[in-house]
C-alpha cells in the first residue's frame, strides 16, 4: 500500500488525479468549451490566470452569470489542469495543436487520467460490442455497483447522462437519446498521448501498447503501432522497433526535472 501511495504521489506531479470525485457529477468533458477557450486564448504557454481572465472577465464562453463562469473555469481545471507546468496539460496542448482530428480522444484521455468518476466507467463501456445499445440506466446500475450508496438517485442519473455524453463526444457511442456502441477513431496524436500516459506510469517497451490508456482508443495493436510510427515520422515522439523490441521516447515533452522524477 505504501508503494502504491508513493507512486500515486509521483503521478500527481505529472497531472494525474486520484480523488473519488470528478467534474462528471455535474458536467461532461466540456469538449466544446475547451475548443473555444483554446481558440480564444491561442497561446500554448498560457496559464491559469490567462484562462481565468478569459472565462470570468472576458466571458469568452458566453456564460450568463459570474457564478457560472467561475464554476466553468473550476471544472475545466479539474478536467485539464490548464497549467503548462503540468506535463499532462502541456502534452495535451502539444498534440491538440498538431492533430485536430484527434482532439476528442485527446480530451478523453486527459479526462480519464484526472476524473475518478469517469474513469470507473471504462470497464463498462469498452467491452461492449459494436452495435449494442447502451442505456443510461445500465450505466447507472454499474456506477451503483462500483460505489454503493454514494450518489442520490438524481445525482446518479445526471452523472450517467454526463458520462454517456462524454463517451459519445469521444466517438465510442452514437445517438442522441438511444445510444449504441461504435468504434472510436484513433489518430497519431491520440496514440502518442496514450503512450505518454502509460510511460509516465512506469510502463516501457511493447507493453506500452497494452495499457489502459491505449485500450481507450478502440484501436487494434497493429494499427496502433502504425500510428506510433506515423507520429515518429512527424517528429512528435521517438519510436524505434526491431522485431518485437520497441522503444518509445518523448524528447519534445518531458523536461529534465520530470525525467528525474521518472528515475526516482
Tell me whether strands 179-181 and 173-174 are parallel, antiparallel or unpaired.
Answer: antiparallel
Q: Where are the domains of the chain?
A: 16-99, 120-181
170 close to 105: Cβ distance less than 8 angstroms: yes
* Arithmetic mean of pLDDT, 171-194: 97
**Which residue is it, cell 490566470?**
49
Instruction: Report the alpha-carbon distance of residue 12 to residue 86 in Å, rounded.
Output: 9
Which residues, at least 6 apart from 99, have a Cβ–Cβ distance to it below 8 Å? 106, 187, 188, 189, 190
Structure confidence at residue 1 (pLDDT): 38
Structure confidence at residue 67 (pLDDT): 96
Looking at every residue in the chain, the average pLDDT score rounds to: 94
* Arithmetic mean of pLDDT, 183-204: 97
Span 11-45, pLDDT tens digits: 999 999 998 888 999 999 999 999 999 999 999 99
Amino acid at each position: 500500500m505504501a508503494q502504491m501511495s508513493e507512486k500515486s504521489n509521483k503521478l500527481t506531479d505529472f497531472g494525474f488525479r486520484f480523488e473519488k470525485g470528478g467534474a462528471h457529477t455535474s458536467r461532461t468533458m466540456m469538449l466544446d468549451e475547451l475548443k473555444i477557450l483554446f481558440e480564444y486564448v491561442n497561446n500554448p504557454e498560457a496559464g491559469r490566470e490567462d484562462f481565468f481572465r478569459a472565462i470570468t472577465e472576458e466571458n469568452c464562453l458566453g456564460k450568463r452569470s459570474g457564478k457560472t463562469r467561475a464554476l466553468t473555469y473550476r471544472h475545466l481545471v479539474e478536467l485539464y489542469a490548464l497549467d503548462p507546468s503540468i506535463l499532462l496539460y502541456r502534452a495535451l496542448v502539444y498534440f491538440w495543436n498538431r492533430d485536430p482530428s484527434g482532439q476528442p480522444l485527446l480530451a478523453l484521455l486527459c479526462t480519464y487520467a484526472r476524473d475518478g468518476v469517469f474513469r470507473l466507467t471504462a470497464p463498462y463501456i469498452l467491452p461492449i460490442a459494436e452495435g449494442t445499445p447502451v442505456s443510461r440506466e445500465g450505466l447507472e446500475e454499474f456506477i451503483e455497483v462500483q460505489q454503493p450508496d454514494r450518489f442520490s438517485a438524481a445525482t446518479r442519473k445526471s452523472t450517467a447522462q454526463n458520462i454517456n455524453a462524454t463517451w459519445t463526444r469521444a466517438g465510442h457511442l452514437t445517438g442522441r437519446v438511444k445510444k449504441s456502441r461504435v468504434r472510436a477513431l484513433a489518430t497519431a496524436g491520440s496514440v502518442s498521448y496514450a503512450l505518454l500516459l502509460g510511460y509516465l506510469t512506469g510502463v516501457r517497451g511493447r507493453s506500452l501498447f497494452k495499457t489502459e490508456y491505449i485500450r481507450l482508443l478502440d484501436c487494434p495493436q497493429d494499427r496502433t503501432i502504425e500510428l506510433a510510427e506515423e507520429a515518429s515520422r512527424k517528429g512528435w515522439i521517438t519510436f524505434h522497433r526491431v522485431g518485437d523490441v520497441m522503444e518509445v521516447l518523448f524528447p519534445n515533452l518531458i523536461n529534465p526535472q520530470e525525467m528525474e522524477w521518472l528515475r526516482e
